[in-house]
């Protein structure tokens, strides 16, 4: 089974690129972030025509997440538990049946947090705490669990082109990385780092200053795995090709293959 994550940065603007990639990469499940549209505006027909079911948790103009699946989706959850006032669409979770039980997948768009001297940074940290609490509960189910998305977290110096220039950015501040490590320490595996420790493994390049052409990137898109999913991981790669297409997202897909078969 192939599971991928991609911050599409406006699904309606990039629907042609999305369908092109679905047809070429053939993921079983694709987690999208920053779809930037309400549910009724999501280009469902084009995606269904490509062979995918859709679970969408949208928001007008901003944020928004979705899960696309070639297999029937049996259960869904939207919104991250722990707050009755958070109206931002940043989390959706789905379950599909496999030959060995169920597979649980979440699409996550973690808050950016910048500028750090505003309410945006405490919101990011509080959201991370809520995510950790929710994942702790989900891990008790002892299922293959894949938490895929744009975490807006640079885990280590090897994951950014110029670490020194990012030390006070919300994506790389010590407190951000500590929260991320607390999440990992629940027993999760960073899929990419389970297969390589090479630097320069970037999934995002800014549109400005020739960042893509000069490979001045960041690794902020991650697939975190429960032990039951990590045990079946066979390969991971960052597919850089879509970043070179016309009208690209500033992110590119991260793709993982698992020895899991849908029912």
* Burial letters 138-170, b for 16+ CB under 10 A, else e: bbeeebbbbbbbbbbbbbbeebbbeeeebeebb
Beta-strand relationship, 101-109 and 145-150: parallel
Coil, strand or helix: which one is 63?
Answer: coil
Half-sphere exposure of 220 (CA within 13 A, CB side): 26
pTM of the full structure = 0.97
Share of the chain above pLDDT 90, in %: 97
pLDDT of residue 209: 86
Q: Give the integer Cα–Cα distance in Å for 118 and 155.
A: 22
Coil, strand or helix: which one is 80?
Answer: coil
Q: Could you check whether the bond before residue 176 is cis, i.e. omega within 30 degrees of 0? A: no
From first to last of the 263 residues of the chain, give the pLDDT tens digit. 999 999 999 999 999 999 999 999 999 999 999 999 999 999 999 999 999 999 999 999 999 999 999 999 999 999 899 998 899 999 999 999 999 899 999 999 999 999 999 999 999 999 999 999 999 999 999 999 999 999 999 999 999 999 999 999 999 999 999 999 999 999 999 999 999 999 999 999 999 989 999 999 999 999 999 999 999 999 999 999 999 999 999 999 999 999 999 88
CA dihedral for 189, 167, 218, 9, sign (positive or negative):
positive
Per-residue pLDDT tens digits for 212-231: 999 999 999 999 999 999 99
* CATH class for the domain made up of 2-258: alpha beta
Are 147 and 91 in contact, with CB atoms under 8 Å apart? no
Sheet with 65-69, edge to edge strand ranges: 53-57, 65-69, 29-33, 2-7, 254-258, 233-238
């Amino acid at each position: 089974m192939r599971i991928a994550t991609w911050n599409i940065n406006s699904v309606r603007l990039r629907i042609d690129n999305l369908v092109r990639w679905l047809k070429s990469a053939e993921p079983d499940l694709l987690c999208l972030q920053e779809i930037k549209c309400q549910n009724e505006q999501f280009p469902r027909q084009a995606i269904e025509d490509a062979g995918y079911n859709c679970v969408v948790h949208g928001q007008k103009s901003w944020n928004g997440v979705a899960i696309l699946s070639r297999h029937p989706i049996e259960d869904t959850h939207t919104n991250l538990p722990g707050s009755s006032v958070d109206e931002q669409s940043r989390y959706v979770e789905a379950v599909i049946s496999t030959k060995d039980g169920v597979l649980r997948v979440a699409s996550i768009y973690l808050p950016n947090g910048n500028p750090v001297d505003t309410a945006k940074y405490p919101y990011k940290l509080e959201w991370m705490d809520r995510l950790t609490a929710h994942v702790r509960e989900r891990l008790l189910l002892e299922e293959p669990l894949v938490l895929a998305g744009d975490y807006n977290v640079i885990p280590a110096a090897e994951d950014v082109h110029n670490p020194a220039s990012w030390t006070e950015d919300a994506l790389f501040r010590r407190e951000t990385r500590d929260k991320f490590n607390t999440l990992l320490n629940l027993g999760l595996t960073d899929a990419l780092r389970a297969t390589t420790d090479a630097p320069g493994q970037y999934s995002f390049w800014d549109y400005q200053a020739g960042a893509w052409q000069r490979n001045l990137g960041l690794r902020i898109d991650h697939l975190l795995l429960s032990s039951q999913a990590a045990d079946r991981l066979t390969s991971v790669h960052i597919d850089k090709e879509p970043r070179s297409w016309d009208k690209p997202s500033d992110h590119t897909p991260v793709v993982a293959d698992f020895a899991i078969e849908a029912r």
